[in-house]
Amino acid sequence: MGEEGETVEQRRSSLAAPLVFLIVLVFHFLSRWLEQLKKRGSKNETEIQLRAEIKQLLIEASSLSQPSTFAQAAKLRRIAAAKEKELANCQQVHTQVIKGSYDLSLKILFISKVVTYIVLVYWFWRAPVAAISRQLVQPFGHVLSWGAGGSLNDYVMVGIIPWLILSTRVSKFLSQLCK
């Protein structure tokens, strides 16, 4: 019975490091994806239609280059300017709505990330997330074992907080490579 408990604990420990890394990676990619969506924004059909109308009006106005058609060209340019103002107002309203929804999504994602990290720290506090050979982490073994209880049989037990920090750095690096 004692051996079964140890194997369950060993399995939990062996799956903990990749699972924590995967969770950190997913949170990082989600927040990056939301930031890109926020920057890119979206164009609604009203904006597309207004752009097409403005372009058409300006083309028509530029084709009227005779002195007798000057008044008609000026009128078309004024209509195009009014449509540009309408487009600017439409874009401003649309941008505020989109920005508000993305800001809310980013806040929810941040709060869930913090809650998840707190749960992970609570769950793995004083329990090793991984065991790494002492020779691989020679100068940093003591730092990596913070919160996990040191070393055992020439292996350094990695604590959850150093693992979260390391996972965050690696996920940032990976997301920059995937740009």
**Residues 115 and 50 placed together within one structural domain of the fold:** yes
**Residue that finishes a domain, picked among 102, 124, 146:** 124
CA–CA gap between residue 36 and residue 53 (Å, rounded): 29
pTM over 0.95: no
pLDDT at 149 over 60: yes
Question: Which pair of structure tokens corresponds to residue 77?
Answer: 């340019």
**Residues 46 and 120 placed together within one structural domain of the fold:** yes
pLDDT at 118 over 60: yes
Residue 2 pLDDT level (bands cut at 50, 70, 90): very low
**Residues 171 and 148 placed together within one structural domain of the fold:** yes
**Residues 89 and 112 placed together within one structural domain of the fold:** yes
| 13-22, 49-58, 132-141, range with greatest mean pLDDT | 49-58
**Residues 140 and 156 placed together within one structural domain of the fold:** yes
Candidates 59, 57, 61; CA nearest to 70 is 61
Inter-residue contact 27 to 106 (CB < 8 Å): no
pLDDT at 160 over 60: yes
Comparison of pLDDT for 43 and 80, the residue scoring more: 80
Query: Where do we find the tokens 């401003």?
Result: 92
Candidates 49, 80, 48; CA nearest to 64 is 80
**Which domain, by its residues, includes 32?**
1-36+126-179
pLDDT confidence of residue 115: 95
**Residues 110 and 46 placed together within one structural domain of the fold:** yes
**Residues 113 and 84 placed together within one structural domain of the fold:** yes
- The amino acid sitting at 14 is S
**Residue that finishes a domain, picked among 124, 142, 157:** 124
pLDDT at 5 over 60: no
Distances from the Cα of 71 to the Cα of 31, 52, 55, 68, angstroms:
53, 22, 19, 7
Burial of 62 (0-12, 13-18, 19+ CB in 10 A): exposed
Candidates 32, 23, 9, 16; CA nearest to 175 is 32
